[in-house]
Copies of this chain bind each other. A is one copy, B any other.
Amino acid sequence: MKKLNALIDRIAARKTALVGRDFLLTWQKSRPELEQILDLAEALRLLRARNLDTRCFASGLAVSQFRDNSTRTRFSFASAANLLGLAVQDLDEGKSQIAHGETLRETAVMISFLADAIGIRDDMYLGAGHEYMAEVAQALDDAVTAGVLPQRPVVVNLQCDRDHPTQSMADLQHLVREFGSLEALRGKRLAMTWAYSPSYGKPLSVPQGIIGLMTRLGMDVVLAHPEGYGLIPEIVALAGRQAQENGGSFTQVTSMGEAFADADIVYPKSWAPYAVMGRRTELLRARDHAGLQALEQECLAQNAHHRNWECTDALMATTRDGKGLYLHCLPADISGVSCEQGEVTAPVFDRFRDPLYRQAGCKPYVIAAMILAGRCADPGVVLRELVRRARPRTAG
């Protein structure tokens, strides 16, 4: 309880400009704001672990819009909403009148009359996902200014073409819990590396989110990928600048082995070649199915040249004292389990299964923290009230 109260004191004392703002890209947030999200997530986790009712809303909708498939983010969003007292309402474009020619601006308002949060996943089109969310956010701002909406729902990016902040912040909460504190991460070496997968078209948002966030913490971030698998150049440049400003480093290497050497943390994960994602976006827009299939074949053939980018026990042995922490956003392509050969061998994955699941378990709290911070001017007061009233979550 002492730990929880200290956490709440820290939250109450911190000045941020999170309220009334969306959570779209971690690099739009200040360091204290990121710390606030982490502290709020941890406080909510502790409250729930003490079986305390965490609801801050008596009613209100949390709207989700998944423009791509999702299990864990979908359940994390639903869990976060439920934790705060909000009801999930999914915007299923197939069942809506959006195809009917309705503008995004209009849809954004129509779903928001009684909404406190809108979570959006839009990661299929390079150069479009973030823009979509920004357009929703602008429409909501306009509607609030015009007196059309009684409240401004906070927009939470559940993965776009640029960033995956609920993932990277959950990863960071996991690291804080594993290493003891945010400060303890300073000087740690994190290897964000490409890995082979017999699939194609995986978004770039996870590696971009990781290098875009972890370079702000004084870590030594290493990015590795085969030639042609680069990320959005602006975000790579951003990572470099941030590392410099925050006393860490950002380097790029061309093999998994170089990246893993003495790493404290490794994050081997497949993604699509940047150029392919760009061409894919054009083909998707043109609904060119034959073109998409041809591109897929080409890309799979290209991938196949890099089958040796696999996270193995031998590689893990080269990490710091052979004890590097393995991260993955899941689901992983596990060799011999979910595919013939993939991102990681079964022994490595099995050894890290529990920490991986704990990593995934951070996401509901991180999303709840983003919603709470975006909607409540003084979350410290809210948390103190939850502690004071001390209502049990479950009876009996």
Q: Which residues of A are at the interface with B, using a C-beta cutoff of 8 A?
A: 48-49, 53-61, 63, 66, 69-72, 74-76, 78-79, 82-83, 85, 87-89, 91, 95-98, 100-103, 106-107, 109-111, 113-116, 143, 146-150, 199, 330-331, 333, 337-339, 353-354, 357-358, 360-361, 364, 375-379, 381-382, 385-386, 391-396
User: How many copies of this chain does one complex carry?
Assistant: 3
Q: A49-B150, A102-B338, A396-B377 are in contact. Are A87 and B88 (CB under 8 A)?
A: yes
Q: Tell me whether B113 and A391 are in contact (CB under 8 A).
A: no
Of all chain B residues, which has the CB nearest A86? B82
**Residue numbers in B under 8 Å from A53 (CB-CB):** 58-59
Q: Tell me whether A393 and B59 are in contact (CB under 8 A).
A: yes
**Residue numbers in B under 8 Å from A113 (CB-CB):** 75-76, 79, 360-361, 364
Q: Tell me whether A61 and B87 are in contact (CB under 8 A).
A: no
State A224–B394 Cα separation when bound (angstroms).
Answer: 46
Q: How far is the CB of A383 from chain B (nearest CB, A)?
A: 9
**Residue numbers in B under 8 Å from A143 (CB-CB):** 357
Q: Tell me whether A376 and B357 are in contact (CB under 8 A).
A: no
Q: How far is the CB of A106 from chain B (nearest CB, A)?
A: 6
**Residue numbers in B under 8 Å from A361 (CB-CB):** 113, 148-149
Q: How far is the CB of A164 from chain B (nearest CB, A)?
A: 14
Q: How far is the CB of A41 from chain B (nearest CB, A)?
A: 13
Q: Tell me whether B79 and A95 are in contact (CB under 8 A).
A: no
Write 24 A-B pairs (CB below 8 A) sorted by A numbering. Answer: A57-B393, A57-B394, A58-B393, A59-B82, A59-B85, A60-B394, A61-B75, A66-B95, A71-B91, A71-B96, A71-B110, A72-B97, A72-B110, A78-B87, A87-B87, A101-B339, A102-B331, A102-B338, A106-B331, A143-B357, A146-B357, A148-B361, A376-B394, A377-B396
Q: Tell me whether B79 and A96 are in contact (CB under 8 A).
A: no
